[in-house]
Structure 1
Amino acid sequence: MADDDGYFGESTAATYEDFVAHRFSPEVVGPAVDVLAGLAGDGQAVEFGVGTGRIALPLAARGVPVHGIDMSRAMVARLRAKPGGDAVGVTIGDFATSRVAGAFSVAYLVFNTINCLTTQDAQVACFHNAAGHLLPGGTFVVETGIPELRKLPPGQTAVPFHISPTQWGFDTYDVATQAMTSHFVTLVDGRAEHSSTPFRYVWPAELDLMARLAGLRLRHRWADWSRAPFTAESGGHVSVWEKPTD
């Protein structure tokens, strides 16, 4: 989330893991690490938007060398403070353009992070950057949600996604530009505080075209990390594109 410290700055990093605690459960992390470790094989992995190390740390613990890219020093500081945090190399920078030395078997970007790139040009650049990091036969993996536009009746622009006694979360959409903003209203000492984060939502077919522009081709698309079939009713997808060997 954007805050007074900048995009995913200190005040957001301080509460991030509490807010998405369910994402740190073994039932969520385990299948993702299984897929990524299988794709990495004996090679290295690079994570775009490594954050606090939710995926990078257990993947490194599986014996896969992992390097991360992230522009939030506050999030990376929390990764570094965790057991094994020194085993994950991190480059501070924009994952759409920042390069890491070496060649990788898998590049990956999880939990809707592709949407943090708020222009189509930046998302296209991200695919080119991923392709540039990959060995021939390597793969780029993206986990993201399907935009919930089916929930919008005519004239409405907001969809709630979190409601509790102390916090409300809702997304607003601009279907003309694919801009999306996540809003949070939180009660603190009886007073409401508002924060918001800008995103750009993107469709699977659009991602496939971005991949093609970067010289990648689709290998798999699943509904989730368990490799369940992707259907018209899926709320998200895990897509795997490969870099040709010829």
Structure 2
Amino acid sequence: DVDLPMGMVSYQNLSHEALKLDLKNATAGWIAIEPNVGEEKTFNYALNLDKDNKLTGKITQYSMGYAALNLRDKYKSTNNEVEFLKNFKKDKTGLELSDYKISNLNNLDELLIEDMSVVIEDNVEDAGNLVFFTPLLYEKTKENPFKNEERLFPVDFAYPIKESYRITLTFPEDYEIDKLPKSSIYKVPNGLGTFTISYITEGKTLLVKSLIDIKKSYYSPEEYFDLKELFKAIVEKQAEQIVFKKKA
């Protein structure tokens, strides 16, 4: 794979261990091949909400490790950038983008960066004098992947996962915050998985930050319940809405 950085194990070979053959001494033994990098994504939204409940602004996305590898594969496997952006928008309701730029596409040792200007409609609900907004627009975890009450086999993510989301939202002068979700921290025992979400307001600006940090690639059946509860919290908290009230 020409997009695989030096020292990074391909996804197909992430089996946690490999058989090392010493032909000179006619010996063999199993060795660990845990990935030395994970999948890391950062989403940075800077948006303005107007009185028509339309969102405009910029999105910057950063990809590292396996996230960058997967994105490079997607970008290069399409016929052109127009087709890539069409696929990018496919499951993002109300998104129109322009001025798209991707940096470090062929520089495998650097952050893969995407910049774009956006207009987002149909993502803010208006109900009389109340306005409802879910801040994790396209990146929220919609469903808990762990539904069974118990698990007999390990959970294998292949590599650690870190997903960070930050949105700075400026809202109209005649809007005021009526209801703000509670900032929260959830942790798997021994600190092997963390989810945090926080809300900060200053004047007519709102800052929301969310972080999912799955620190291991491999979780035992005994750790399954804690992992399930962590993802339950992620789904519930990322779906919470901010409520604005229009001034009379």
Instruction: Using structure 2 for the length normalisation, give the TM-score.
Output: 0.28
By relative contact order (CA 8 Å, sep 6+), the higher-ranking structure is 2
Greater strand share, structure number = 2
Could you say which structure has the larger radius of gyration? 2
Instruction: Using structure 1 for the length normalisation, give the TM-score.
Output: 0.28
